[in-house]
Structure 1
Amino acid sequence: MKLISPAFQHGQLIPVQYTCDGANHRPPLTISDVPKEARSLTLVVEDPDAPSKVFTHWLLYDLPPSTQHILEQEALLDGVEGVNDFGTRGYKGPCPPSGTHRYVFRLFALDTQLALPQGARKEDVLAKLKDHVLATAELVGTYARKHTT
């Protein structure tokens, strides 16, 4: 399974429009090679370099396995959004307090639907997908804020 973005390459800088310093749009994503037996997809976006804990920026689950694109501003017609660590549903872009942080977009192909309500927390999503993962894909971007003095 593959996860890429036309906005940035793996390991490269996430453009400012997808961060708190820009429009905070979610970056466009392209999904391919999903296992035929998959029943749903789950996307978890995290900052492992956050100071106090791995910080969740986006949770998206029960996406149809036929999903090939997640577009920048299109309304999500399919899939359910969980609560991020900002305390809201939906995508909130990179906004590191200092230094360069990594942002890990991790996609899971599952043999089931999670059937969790809208607004689930990461812990609940990860607990429910355990033992149901058929394949994973990962895309990592980086971001550092340009602080003005």
Structure 2
Amino acid sequence: MKKVLLSIFLLLGITSFSLELKSSGVKDGVIEKKYGTYGKDQFHGMPTLSMPFEWKDAPTGTKQFALVIEDFDAVEAVGVIWLHWLTLIPGDTNFLPENASTTDEKLIQGENSWWSLLGGSLPKDEVARYGGPVPPNKTHTYTITLYALDKEMDLKKGFYLNELYDAMDGHILKKAVLKAKYIKE
């Protein structure tokens, strides 16, 4: 039976059921130190060296990707979900190299949480980028979600998460989730 199903999938051109996301910056479920608080690339306490990502099996018709990195464990420490990176990525892309947040001009990046009072009120023009993990109280788990979208979002640099979710509504083809910890020492 398995051979019959595999043959049917291959005939139809179906080789995978889901979008897959991974990062060479995550080893055994742990984000490397250099992408967060213990890294040397910082802007007023905000880590700025973005992790590399790669993905495969994007659905046919993908026009754009959205990548969101959130820290739900931050609620216990600071009372809110912390946003580390919101970015829109061209649909013909299947990877982001290390430090793409700083070097890739094709990315449209939204505001991370570092502009807030809790984040030190960093200038808004400096927080539409990657702002890495800095868990204040203990090791945190970060949820990294890649969305494959059926259209390009009409958002500009500095967009907010709620604007992204509103724009994506009804346009998500698939999503992939990667969870990784950043170790508090």
TM-score by length of structure 2 reads: 0.74
Does 1:85 find its partner at 2:113?
A: yes
Q: Distance in 2 between matches of 1:27 and 1:125?
A: 21
Runs of at least 5 residues in structure 1 that lack an aligned partner in the other structure: none
Amino acid at match of 1:41: F
> Is 1:15–2:42 an aligned residue pair?
no
In structure 2, how many angstroms separate the alpha carbons of the residues matched to 1:39 and 1:78? Answer: 14
Contact 2:52 2:97 in 1 (8 A): yes
Structure-2 separation of matches of 1:35 and 1:92: 29
Structure 2: which 5+ runs fail to align?
A: 1-18, 41-46, 116-126
The code of the aligned residue for 2:177 comes to E
| Counterpart position of 1:72 | 98
Q: CA deviation at 1:72?
A: 0.7
Q: What letter is aligned with 1:20? A: T
Q: Is the 8 A contact 2:63 2:92 kept in 1?
A: no
Q: Distance between the aligned counterparts of 2:157 and 2:167, measured in 1?
A: 14
1 or 2, which has the higher helix percentage? 2
Alignment root-mean-square deviation, CA: 1.3
Give the letter aligned to residue 30 of structure 2.
L
Higher relative contact order (CA 8 A, sep 6+): 1
Counterpart secondary structure, 1:99: coil
Structure 2 partner of 1:38 = 62
Letter of the aligned partner of 2:97 in structure 1? L
Shift in Å at residue 64 of structure 1?
1.4
Aligned length: 144
Matched, 1:53 2:80: yes
| Structure 1 partner of 2:21 | 3
Secondary structure at the counterpart of residue 126 of structure 1: helix
Deviations 1:13-43 (A, max 9, x none): 1111000221331111011111111111000
Question: Could you state the TM-score of these two structures normalised by the residue count of structure 1?
Answer: 0.91
User: Residue 145 of structure 1 aligns with which residue?
Assistant: 184
**1:9 Cα shift?**
4.4
8 A contact 1:98–1:144 mirrored in 2:
no
Give the Cα–Cα distance (whole angstroms) in 2 for the partners of residues 137 and 77 of structure 1.
24
Q: Name the larger-Rg structure.
A: 2
Identity of aligned residues (%): 28
Supply the distance in 2 between the matched residues of 1:86 and 1:27 (Cα, whole angstroms). 18
